[in-house]
Amino acid sequence: MPITSPAFGCWVLRTPGSAYVVHLGGEDVPLTAHWGAPVDDDTALALARVPLGPGRGWESPLDGHEEYPSDRGLRFATPALALRFPDGQRTVRWRFVSASADGEHLRLVFAELTRAVRLVLHHRVAGDVVERWAELAAGEPVEVLRADSAAWCPPRREDYRLSSVHGRWAAEWQLRREPLGDGVVRLGSRRTTTSPMHNPWFALDDGTATETAGEVWSAALAWSGTWHIDVERQPAGRVVAAVGAGASFTLAAGEAHTTPVSAGLWTGDGFGSASRMWHRYLRERVMPSGAELRPVLYNSWEATGFRLDEANQLALAERAAALGCELFVMDDGWFGARVSDHAGLGDWTPNPDRFPTGLGPLVARVTELGMRFGIWVEPEMVNPDSDLYRAHPDWVYATPGYPRHELRNQLVLNLGRPEVAAWLHGWMDALLAGHDIAFVKWDMNRPVTDPGPDPSWSAAHTSALYAVLDRLRSDHPTVRFESCASGGGRVDPGILARTDQVWPSDNTDASDRLHIQEGFGQLYPARAMTAWVTDAPNFLTGNRLPLRFRFHVAMAGVLGIGGDLARWTPDEQAEAATRIAQYKRIRHVVQHGELHRLRSAARSTAPALAYALDDEVAVFQWLDGHRYGEPYVPPRLPFLPASTTWEDADTGARCTSAFLATHGLDAGMFRNHDSALTHLRRVP
């Protein structure tokens, strides 16, 4: 059973490979007794009965054990909950009321001793992970200064190491693993979205875990607005990680608040196992179309930029279809007075000079070519030079009496206003209803900088965005959405519950992308990761990488083409058609298979990875920064089932699993920027 209760006040949540034990401790507070390897009920109960210790002066025995610590009483850890009542009281103390377990879902209900406030802590088994969130109900007015989703308490170890991803625009997803020092490490974002700088995910280990071995505790937050993760190493040596959305707000009597979901998992088999568990969870439990295969797309941005019109889009569509692309996406510049980034955002009707009879002829021709049609939008933004802004200047975020700040010549619409959210849904609904559109690239190119006096603006914006997307998906169930925010600025399990893929970075340089995609894959599956092949030299780095190398990097995700096809030589077009056809033969393995990172791009000039699904494996190898023409070491494939034989689907060559696990898969590479893709099939 997913949830058992071996005794009053003790509950065991079981995933296929782990156990999570929560119990009531002193003062009726819920404590984490165990988060790790599977245990039976008797062992779980014994773990729950282990004394916390007396606590030394200046310390609390609750710290590092408590599932949802408040900021008052005998506790000094970073609080998950902080309340303030109108009379100034901030102390809260909970009385346990009841517990209920419904299938995979445990609810623990508490009431405040002297105030009319109730707290429900939720735990739910969801595949390999445990989902947690909290619900507050106010019977009297209360100011909520902080209400996190969960405080995660891994067991005590001799040491700890923290893994996270950091970066900036065009350098997102840089994986960092470093010893966890004393005190608090804060990860987070105040940029309206999850941001390119950090992502709401972390992993902890004792400093000895590898890709294939060792205990790893990991958690993430399903929220696309302001957020924080406070990882605290306490004086007594324990660690607690408080995870939540970073907004304060006030509840009136009769109102309630539910936090976003935070999901956590444990594995004893290293970082690779943790990633595979996250990928399964996101594909099977979170993403709305996780079982589908994503099409090969072509995007027109890097070919035409703001110079697009019906004629050049038709010409690009002809070329993209000839290569085997399945989805044609027209990017920025199709609407209003949008001939540069100075004007037009907010006026979402086709530019009459560029599309004299609307989008219909282009959509029809794309369909005739055997492709679906997709379109770029940036619905949350407005240019001051637009009809929308001239009609509704009060719709943007602004602080009365203060100068406003523009970025990219644009302002952000206040989605927290119901009339703004209704307008956004209205024109998007009309656009999708009036055209055969299969795909929407939803972009956001700047954060909010002048939100005004409402402290809950970020939560209101994110909630309104979710509501619009949910309604659009319901009304247009065949349309698929991509989340983009100047690249990877809005990627998290919350947005992935409403979109079908994400754009990890505006940086399409294949060498840089090896590092970006490695960090992205710590949490997110290849099924969600759009990856383009673009022109050489790359617009950002100037690198001139071989087309084969660029394709092999992009084929490790959801393949897209973003170059100016009119400039590609006949040989390049022929090679592109061959690579696209090859990708279609292996994309089910890439998009739904289990990822095995064979060699890290951060530590090797010969990175390699594999995806395995049933009786097929796709192995990618690259030489990147390789010097002196030294022979490279073939990557080994130790994950293949023992005593099996595998055949190269392209050459017919056969090898045993023992050979591939010991010698490795030799692709004959030696020059810098050589690359290879090998498709293996198990021989019956």
Cis? peptide before 537, omega within 30° of 0: yes
Cα→Cα distances 54→61, 268, 339, Å = 6, 31, 69
Catalytic residue, from 385, 492, 500, 506: name it: 506
Catalytic annotation, pick one of 230, 443, 512, 624? 443
Query: Would you call the peptide bond into 504 cis, given omega within 30 degrees of 0 as the criterion?
Result: no
Q: CA 518, CA 600: separation in Å to the nearest integer?
A: 8
For 309, the token pair is: 């019109």
570 token code pair: 């006949």
HEC-encoded secondary structure of 329-351? EECCCCECCCCCCCECCCCCCEC
Two structure tokens written together for 43: 């062992």
Does the annotation place 42 within a ligand binding site?
no
Whether 269 is a known active-site residue: answer no
Q: Is 444 annotated as a binding residue?
A: yes
**C-alpha–C-alpha distance, residues 379 and 382, integer Å:** 8
d(CA 491, CA 417): 24
What DSSP character marks residue 88?
S
Does 614 carry a binding-site annotation?
Answer: no
169 a known binding residue? yes
CB 355 within 8 A of CB 362: yes
* Contact status, residue 557 vs residue 525, Cβ threshold 8 Å: no
Q: Would you say 584 is a known binding-site residue?
A: no
Q: Is 442 annotated as a binding residue?
A: yes
Q: Is 331 annotated as a binding residue?
A: yes
307 in a known ligand binding site:
no
Q: Where are the beta strands (DSSP E) in 234-322?
A: 239-245, 249-251, 256-258, 262-267, 297-299
CB atoms within 10 A of CB 473: 18
Residue 443 among known ligand-binding residues:
yes
Picking from 164, 173, 171, 167, the residue whose alpha carbon sits closest to that of residue 518 is: 173
Which helix (H) or strand (E) segment holds residue 457: the answer is: helix 457-475
Q: Indicate if 506 belongs to the active site.
A: yes
Annotated binding-site ranges for substrate: 169, 331-332, 408, 441-445, 484, 506
Active-site residue numbers? 443, 506
Annotated binding-site ranges: 169, 331-332, 408, 441-445, 484, 506
